[in-house]
Amino acid sequence: MSRVGRVERTTKETSVLVEIDLDGTGRTDIATGVGFYDHMLDQLGRHGLFDLTVKTDGDLHIDSHHTIEDTALALGAAFKQALGDKVGIYRFGNCTVPLDESLAQVTVDLSGRPYLVHTEPENMAPMIGEYDTTMTRHILESFVAQAQIALHVHVPYGRNAHHIVECQFKALARALRYASERDPRAAGILPSTKGAL
């Protein structure tokens, strides 16, 4: 059974298409118009082994906020759709990723209950190219709200803003991969004592 999600989201500010295959090989086709964000979404697909297509046309003449936010919302919705009934998955995943002087720790529960805990070093450089570094938390908030998962992201230290953000996306990719993979010992079993996720 394929685990594919496809979401099209159109507003007066943006037009977004996201397609994700949870059982892919890490092939990506990303174009949001925000170079660093494209790089981060590429990390998500490649390190999660998700086949990921993202096409966003946004109001970049204003700034990148709507483009980044609406893409994250559509990505979360597509991820939730691809998960389907969640029967037979591991449900929980975690990963710690270093990137030179920076370290990110990510833990996820595909719980059906959206909740985000996010910490990263203060006084980070405000911009990476056209990417506002305060948007990282907002991306995670938007993704979590639509994917309906519990997500804890912690960066205990780091100096370089590029490294701090990138290690978060790499760790997120791996944690989502581990949580969403099928557990061969739990085929046909929903990983919840409640009987619902």
CATH number at 58 reads 3.30.230.40
Q: How confident is the model at residue 100 (pLDDT cuts 50, 70, 90)?
A: very high
pLDDT at 194: 83
Taking a C-beta distance cutoff of 8 angstroms, is the pair 153, 102 a contact? no
pLDDT at 195: 78
Q: Is residue 193 part of a domain?
A: no
Q: Is residue 187 part of a domain?
A: no
Which pair of structure tokens corresponds to residue 62?
Answer: 């204003």
Q: Is residue 191 part of a domain?
A: no
pTM of this prediction? 0.96
Q: How confident is the model at residue 158 (pLDDT cuts 50, 70, 90)?
A: very high
Q: Is residue 129 part of a domain?
A: yes
Q: How confident is the model at residue 81 (pLDDT cuts 50, 70, 90)?
A: very high
Rg (CA), the chain: 16
pLDDT at 34: 98
Q: Is residue 112 part of a domain?
A: yes
Q: Is residue 195 part of a domain?
A: no
Q: How many Å separate Cα 27 from the centre of its chain? A: 15
What is the count of structural domains for the chain? Answer: 1
Q: Torsion over CA of 109, 113, 114 and 118, rounded to 10 degrees?
A: -40
pLDDT at 185: 92
Q: Is residue 61 part of a domain?
A: yes
Average pLDDT over residues 66-76: 98
pLDDT at 197: 83
Average pLDDT over residues 19-48: 98
Q: How confident is the model at residue 18 (pLDDT cuts 50, 70, 90)?
A: very high
Q: Is residue 169 part of a domain?
A: yes
* Overall residue count recorded for the chain in this entry: 197
3-state secondary structure of 19: strand
Judge whether residue 192 has pLDDT over 90: no
Which pair of structure tokens corresponds to residue 154?
Answer: 């912690």
Q: How many Å separate Cα 192 from the centre of its chain? A: 23
Judge whether residue 127 has pLDDT over 80: yes
Print the domain residue range for 168.
Answer: 2-178
Judge whether residue 55 has pLDDT over 80: yes
